[in-house]
Chain A
């Protein structure tokens, strides 16, 4: 690699901002996010929301893949237990996410980079609080190192 090219790749952006992926279920959390917006609650702009039909749809693979591609944190939001539109999707999600958290610990990524939250459609304020809290905790953890060492191929 020429010195010039090297210099180009080592240039860091002035301030690092966390990139957070949030999977929100269609029936509760996504509506919660809507309510947060309509109610004008402020929360950090680091979140990218991906709407899924149910938190039970979120596979462990989604989380690992997001982290592999350089996300600094992954949030999974669903309906409260007992409120699932599909009866027990969120219970499945809870089981899966527990396993994923264990796996992240073993892999050395740390369970701190993911979080599972139940946010109902009426909890706009909670949505804003959770986003703020999670962004702050990711800020403390620092950037996800995986993005540097791997080749994120999209």
Chain B
């Protein structure tokens, strides 16, 4: 079912067909809600689609703007004709990558290189470096599997900002152990390839996908649990699109915890804290997981959830997608979102996505264009937060 290579010109028309871009009525609703367009007047999702429909190829504005898009899918939700903008952008990027039009990647492309290295057959990763003796896990085979994702790696790269990222896989195992489950973890696991797919590097993405699909199938898992919203989206949607249905159930850790608490398998303790929750685009709009994280917060005694003005499917973006567009627009978005979070009066901003955490922390790391007291809300990882709230944990 993998997409075959097609001639370039044909590719765009096929893309227009596949994503329903032909139905665009130029109403501009997408642009009105787009968080990037709010801060970057040169950008409009509508414009990209319209130009492609008019058959304008190799347009310099599109070439630039396809990397400005955050693929947060807020436009998809608004479109009265259900045009799949993010899919369209992804297709454009894939073509663009083949032609060598690349954005200026943040960290000089370090993270993409790391992911491409993981696709390399000769690399023997120390993937379970985070594992400590107090955690009960089985290696490689088991009914319930924890797909750890790259939180440990990202926590290492951004150690001066989000050191706590390195705790995420440990926290996830602690939660599963507390619910009476000994999860399996994979020694050969590689990055899900989310960033490479959204950067347009399909070759490397397929390599990662094949590797992951193979070891996931071999593990004999009946259920796979994710902490990272991007892994969850990529494996659930993209892997199944490209390589057929996968023989296991997939669940995000928030859904797992909400379910386990309901069934009485997991007991959560008491934490006195006012928190607010940021719906990351991958978990929220892409995977439609809105209630589970809120149910989890309700289950923790003493936690008071104060919603931000723009919550659930209206949540704005953290400002960067696939490490491809870290710029002043992204920074403005981050400051805007942090201001909103701070305004709620909450003590902590919780989110699941490691990237949202990195980007929000980065925004306040250096000088900020507004009064620091307006944005200085600590950002914490939700998985870590649950692990800390475990009874006796």
A residues near B, CB below 8 A?
Answer: 59-62, 64-65, 67-68, 95, 99, 102-103, 105-109, 145-146, 148-150
Contact = CB atoms under 8 A, between A and B. Distances in A.
B151 to A, nearest CB: 12
A106 B153 contact: yes
Contact of B108 (A61, A68, A108): A61
Contacts of B120: 68, 146, 149-150
A150 B116 contact: yes
B388 to A, nearest CB: 24
A61 B124 CA distance: 19
Nearest to A102: B156
B148 to A, nearest CB: 12
B61 interface: no
Contact of A61 (B109, B121, B129): B109
Contact of B117 (A60, A64, A99, A102): A64
Interface of B: 107-110, 113-114, 116-126, 129, 152-153, 156-157, 159-160
Nearest to B152: A106
Nearest to A145: B122
A64 B110 contact: yes
Contacts of B110: 59-61, 64
Contacts of A146: 117, 120, 122-123
B113 A68 contact: yes
B310 to A, nearest CB: 34
B259 to A, nearest CB: 32
Nearest to A105: B126
A45 B208 CA distance: 37
A127 B153 CA distance: 33
Contact of A99 (B124, B126, B156): B156
Contacts of B159: 99, 102
Contacts of A59: 107-108, 110
B125 A62 contact: no
Contacts of A106: 125-126, 129, 152-153, 156
Contacts, number: 72
B157 A107 contact: no
Given A61-B108, A61-B109, A61-B113, A150 B153 contact: no
A95 B160 contact: yes
B123 A109 contact: yes
Given A60-B157, A64-B114, A99-B157, A108 B124 contact: yes
Contact of B107 (A61, A102, A105, A109): A61
Q: Which 6 A-B pairs have the closest CB atoms?
A: A149-B122, A61-B108, A149-B121, A145-B122, A61-B110, A150-B120
Contacts of B126: 105-108
Given A64-B114, A102-B156, A106-B152, 10 more contacts: A60-B108, A61-B108, A62-B108, A65-B113, A67-B117, A103-B153, A108-B126, A149-B122, A149-B123, A150-B121
Contacts of B129: 105-106
A103 B129 CA distance: 11
Residue from the set A59, A106, A109, A148 with the largest chain B CB neighbour count within 10 Å: A106
B113 A107 contact: no
A64 B123 CA distance: 13
Contacts of B157: 60, 99, 103
A85 B353 CA distance: 40
B122 A107 contact: no
B125 A108 contact: yes
B109 A150 contact: no
A95 B123 CA distance: 25
A45 B48 CA distance: 53
Nearest to B105: A61
Nearest to B121: A149
A105 B124 CA distance: 10
22 contacts: A60-B157, A61-B108, A61-B113, A64-B114, A65-B109, A65-B113, A68-B117, A68-B120, A99-B157, A102-B159, A107-B118, A107-B123, A107-B126, A108-B123, A146-B120, A146-B122, A146-B123, A149-B120, A150-B116, A150-B119, A150-B120, A150-B121
